[in-house]
Chains A and B, each alone.
Chain A
Amino acid sequence: MASSTHASASPVEPARFDVGRGGRAAIRVVRRYPFPCLIALVLLLIGAGTGLADVIAPYNPNAVNPIDRLQGPNSTYWMGTDALGRDVFTRVLYGGRASLGVSVASVALGVMVATSIGLVSGALGGWFDVLVQRVVDMLMAFPGLIIVISLTAFFGTSVSLLVVVIAIALLGGGIRISRAAAIQVGSQPYIEAARTIGATTPRIIVRHILPNALPPIMVIATAYLGVAILIEASVSFLGYGIQPPAASWGFMLGAEARIHMIEQPWLSVWPGLAIFLTVFSFNIIGDALRDAFDPRLRGTG
């Protein structure tokens, strides 16, 4: 009896998955940084949910349905409905697509331009560096939100303009960080070695300084994703960002919606929660990246 049990059990070996080198590395990262990995998952969900809004959203984001207006969360409308009877959950998904799209595009643009200027400025020094620093001083004197509302209001409120203007608002800080990184990398012996064997300055900047200066730039880029979302939301809240009827997290909290919030307080909760969760996640990932790139800083932020 015992032997037969043994015989039947023996072929069943514990399942072994060969996760490979990449897989093992991933497991190590998850074990070491469980919380940031959880947050990365949350971000992935937010990204997928908003990116696939067309598929996931239960309703049309602009479908007006006055009979069902101003409902609280229920089984038909998970987050309730707004004053026009539109499904809030659907609009949060579509609004997220707009917010994330604008902030990713503006950070990509702003950080790319800032890095090019900052690295060259830090690597070259001299009059160019002095000039760049003065321009950065001027850029940094304008609060981001104020640049953005002043410019969008006059130049028109298109999404591409919003992206460019938010990128401008991020430029000053980005140049400062990448310039500091370039100066720090530039003092390393391997840069001197490259110079000695006759590498040209453009080659040194692109092949040696850029890759080594990348970690702090990636940290700031991640943090800026959160900043860009907050700016976009504030501008849309004030009515100069993404224009209705398109959904945006900021506008859903704006003046028009505020009138109905006493009747239906849930209206004030969801879009803000979405902004908070997204920005919070970007900040946590930014902190984790900084810890990972520079172990000396671990736990200091």
Chain B
Amino acid sequence: MRGYLVRRLLLAVLTLFGISLIVAGVMRTLPGDVVDVLAAEAFYNETEKERLREELGLEDPFFVYFGKWLGDAVQGDFGRALRTQRSVGGDLVNRIDVTIELAFLGIVIATLISVPLGIVAAMQRSRWPDYAARSIAVFALAIPGFWLATLAIVFGAKWFTWSPPLGYQPIWEAPLTNLQQMWLPALLFGLILAGVQTRILRTALLDVLRQDYMLTARAKGLSRLLLLRRHALRNSLIPFITVIGVQFPVVLGGSVVFELIFSLPGVGIYLLDGIANRDYVVVQAVNVWIAAAVILTNLIVDVSYGFLDPRIRVAS
């Protein structure tokens, strides 16, 4: 188990290094001179342009620039936003709780929907509850999140004269106001995410139900409920947790859209602002942060396999 953990950790660090290299490389090959664009907008003169170039490390060869960036990043310094001159690392820390809360609530709601649906579908295979659950899942899979959110806002305003509250409040300062703002985006987000989760859980459960040990358990007289609880659900946990891991990038991507529509000041909005300002310091940092979050989630998922399934622990 320990060797397995160490190997996974090393691999994660290596991947993150590669990602930082790729992102920095892409940002350096941007067409046109970024400084010229920025300078034209801010009416910089030549000396100021020179200073900006120097400051951004654009004069250095790529690997010197990357080395500096990485050295600073490891210490938590992701540079200063070109427009606001604020610390990008600080901005991200201030905004990450919004995105984490939205992602967390979305996944919780998706799980609350998909676990009952998946169980009913697998246990009642090829009967009407199965078809109903699968139809819901395929519908959820095909609905664009931004459309569902737009409809909620348009028809909420039209029929219930309700519109999403403005001015975000952090959950530890004003929990009630926060939840008033979060419940709808989280619910819609959860509905969208539940599609994939239901399908995977159903497939995983069906897979387990086909196993010989299920027949044995049934033959020795275990009730269907006990069978489900003791054997089927536990063995379906691995594919289910895998899918939550695999879905995590989707969650982060979707969060951008939900933050925009419900004006929640999270990392997604920060990225959109960075893109609109052509602030590549911000875009670079956000991309690396998001990739790091995904890698960390995958690491946690991989490690949890070892806890859930002793066979994986031993095999490694």
Contact = CB atoms under 8 A, between A and B. Distances in A.
B203 A299 contact: no
Contacts, number: 141
A143 B125 contact: no
A226 interface: yes
A204 to B, nearest CB: 30
**A contact face: mostly helix, strand, loop, or mixed:** helix
Interface in A236-272: 237-238, 240, 250, 253, 258, 261-262, 265, 268-269, 271-272
Interface string B60-102: 0000000000000000000000000000000000000000000
Nearest to B297: A141
A186 interface: no
Nearest to A268: B154
Nearest to A229: B144
A140 B249 contact: yes
A146 B252 CA distance: 8
B26 A151 contact: yes
Interface string A266-301: 001101100110011001100100000000000111
B249 A299 contact: no
B132 interface: no
B134 to A, nearest CB: 8
Contact of B143 (A134, A262, A276, A287): A276
Given A150-B283, A155-B30, A237 B294 contact: no
A185 to B, nearest CB: 22
A234 B257 contact: yes
B144 A154 contact: no
A116 B278 CA distance: 35
15 contacts: A138-B19, A141-B294, A142-B249, A145-B253, A146-B287, A155-B30, A155-B31, A238-B256, A238-B260, A250-B146, A258-B153, A268-B150, A275-B144, A299-B126, A301-B199
Interface of A: 134-135, 137-138, 140-146, 149-151, 153-156, 226, 230, 233-234, 237-238, 240, 250, 253, 258, 261-262, 265, 268-269, 271-272, 275-276, 279-280, 283-284, 287, 299-301
